[in-house]
A and B are shown apart, each in its own frame.
Chain A
């Protein structure tokens, strides 16, 4: 069965960086992409960007351009999302999801990132 397992919760200070991992199993990793979606406390879903696991092509949300980098390691079927220059409003649960830029059909369990001084 398809599984996406994310790394654990993080607490960061403003200005720091965070890197969240998402390890995929149960399917051919390079046949899909990975979307990253975040959800601030009590708020809705916000798409952050997408990476093709086939060729590494990326598409980022404009508001995060310059602060976010998405990568993959095909040898370990793992996707990564790094967010830099963290601010308090980056506090959220971050999800990865298997996606072909259509429907996100399998999701990770989420990673809580807390930004606090």
Chain B
């Protein structure tokens, strides 16, 4: 199975800050990477697909980049409603695998 390593595991930032999360795959996955947001007690929500494509209806402050093994997820200006856990997921090879998650808190 492809291992997905996210960092950091947790992050505290202030409203308005630029926030960056990284995700590293254990092998080349091209751009077959998604980013999900999960708020407490809720189902995950797709934010970014194919590494850099914004899902319909998702605010433009969210963005993704990268290919191969190294990927980045960015919130350009953190808002209070962005408090959540974020997961990357590869789908290049079965089984699809998730990173361990990054818990984002407001400072």
Contact = CB atoms under 8 A, between A and B. Distances in A.
A, B bound:
yes
Consensus secondary structure, chain A interface: loop
Interface string B60-81: 0000000000000000000000
Contact of B96 (A44, A47, A110): A47
Interface stretch (B11-19, B22-30, B42-50): B42-50
A105 B45 CA distance: 7
Interface stretch (A67-75, A80-88, A95-103): A95-103
B34 to A, nearest CB: 5
A105 B34 CA distance: 10
A11 interface: no
A62 B50 CA distance: 25
Contacts of A46: 98
Interface of A: 35, 37, 44-47, 59, 61-62, 95, 97, 101-105, 107-110
A103 B49 contact: yes
Given A45-B87, A47-B95, A105 B101 contact: no
B46 A105 contact: yes
Contact of A62 (B46, B89, B95, B98): B95
A77 B22 CA distance: 37
Contact of B91 (A97, A103, A109): A103
Given A45-B87, A102-B49, A103-B91, A108 B43 contact: yes
